[in-house]
Amino acid sequence: MEDLQKDEWLHHLNQRFRELGRGVSAATKTNELGFRFEERWFNEDGSNSRVRLRFVNAKQGLFVFIGTRDGGDDGAVADLRDAVTYAIESTGKRRETVAWEATLCQVPARRGLRTMGLHLGEPFEVDDLRVESWGSEHCENVSAWSMGFRESPWHFWPIRVTGKVRCYAWAKDGIELVSARLRVLVELLTLALDWPVEVRIGPYEALASVAMGTEAEPLPTAKAGRRALRRIRRALIGAVHGQSGGQAAATGDEGLLVPGLSAPTVPEDHPWRSDAVTEVPEWVAALLVRSGLDNEARRALSAHYEATLLKADHPSMALLGFVASIETLAVPRKGLPHCPSCKAVLGSGERFGQALASVLSKEGIDLVGKVYSQRSKTVHAAQLHAAEDVLGMTPSHRFFSIDTRMNFEFGTVHLAAKASRRLLLSRLSPDSGDVVAAQAPDTSDPTPGCA
């Protein structure tokens, strides 16, 4: 058994104990040789139980033993054998199909360039996955550093995502599988919309989930768990209906309510409300197929997403992510020359500059400047280049002097983000738009002999 299979085996073991009506005590023990093992025994027998289940975790798998003393207990032995057998037969085979939901939202920006109110147009579907704007436009106040610490309204449209997952237990591997899928979705939406999107609520199990076991013995329906989920969902929806100052969706359709979202909706006649919609490119749906991204592009996309999340509040750290994304796409992983003394890869700065030249104009490259050098100073010398030392405030009082911190944030970081995005689009989408070429700038790393 692999480790993940061992976790599933233990889940089925405990599930069978519950079905048999057996309460179980557990302990982790160590023998005189220093080996750790797990023990289980039935509660009704207490600490003097005459029957124990012991299992030892090893690289080869799990070693499971049933031990008795003082004659044992035939009933306890039979139930332990039944549970162990059930867990073995169920591992890798016993699955349920769970319908789930989640709500995505734009990430608000406290400072810098702000684009809000993105409203997705037509819904799109990939296999069992459906993505659509739902509810209505919402508004919440966020801190705005550029406005002297005052709050600023932020408008956004929730994005509903629904799907199904095959898992042995929603609370075990189900949530993990769905979360990994949602992560790819928010990364691709962020790349396509050029604005960070995050999972705001969920994922949570939808009420339409259907348990599907083996033909011979279907899984229990877990009615008590379903009733608890209904109570949670009613409580979440109740928070939207006036109890927390929220308003229901204009359609009045319960299927369009946004559970857990208490931010009030924006009236239809509000001057800031916009009816403009944003269409999600077709390549996003195509790449959501599980095999649509290779490992290299996946790593670069993930780094770009993390950097985009950091860009507004932590520009110096965001630059690291954008540079990592560019390097991943521009620099081959094999066959690179190394420094004979320190073994560092040589020519990284030059290759980085060539990557910039493939997606930025000459003017843009000049504005980026020594981006690789600035990245290295942050990594190796903990040097920050933006306005982090003044709480990110824009120096509006300056007239004659040039603030290099603002040049870094709105020049270097902005263009590095642009280059990273263009490289990703050229890699992931055949119709990614204009890609311009120019002479590569001097982006060499200042480390002697290891540029």
Quick check: 385 and 374 in contact, CB under 8 A? Answer: yes
The span from the first CA to the last CA of the chain, in angstroms, equals 46
Per-residue pLDDT tens digits of the chain, which is 451 residues long: 888 899 999 999 999 999 999 999 999 999 888 889 999 999 887 777 899 999 999 888 899 999 998 888 899 999 999 999 999 999 999 888 999 999 999 888 766 556 777 888 888 898 889 999 887 788 887 776 654 556 777 788 889 999 999 999 998 999 999 999 999 999 999 999 888 999 998 898 886 443 433 333 333 444 554 555 555 555 544 443 333 333 333 333 333 457 677 777 777 777 767 667 888 888 898 888 866 778 888 999 999 999 999 888 888 898 899 988 988 887 665 666 777 777 666 666 666 677 777 777 776 666 666 777 777 788 887 877 777 777 666 666 566 666 777 777 777 888 889 888 988 998 888 665 544 333 334 444 444 344 4
Rounded Cα distance, 387 and 371, in Å: 17
Rounded to 10 degrees, what is the CA torsion of 59, 60, 66, 67? -60
Q: What per-residue confidence (pLDDT) applies to 139?
A: 81
Q: What per-residue confidence (pLDDT) applies to 334?
A: 60
Q: What per-residue confidence (pLDDT) applies to 412?
A: 82
Class of domain 3-90: alpha beta
Residue 245 is given by DSSP the state: S
Burial 356-387 (b: 16+ CB within 10 A, else e): bbbbbeeebbebbbbbbbbbbbbeeeeebbbb
Domain residue ranges of the chain, discontinuous segments joined by +: 3-90, 96-287, 295-428
Residue with tokens 């009733």: 227
Question: How would you list the strands of the sheet with 61-68, edge to edge?
Answer: 24-30, 36-42, 51-58, 61-68
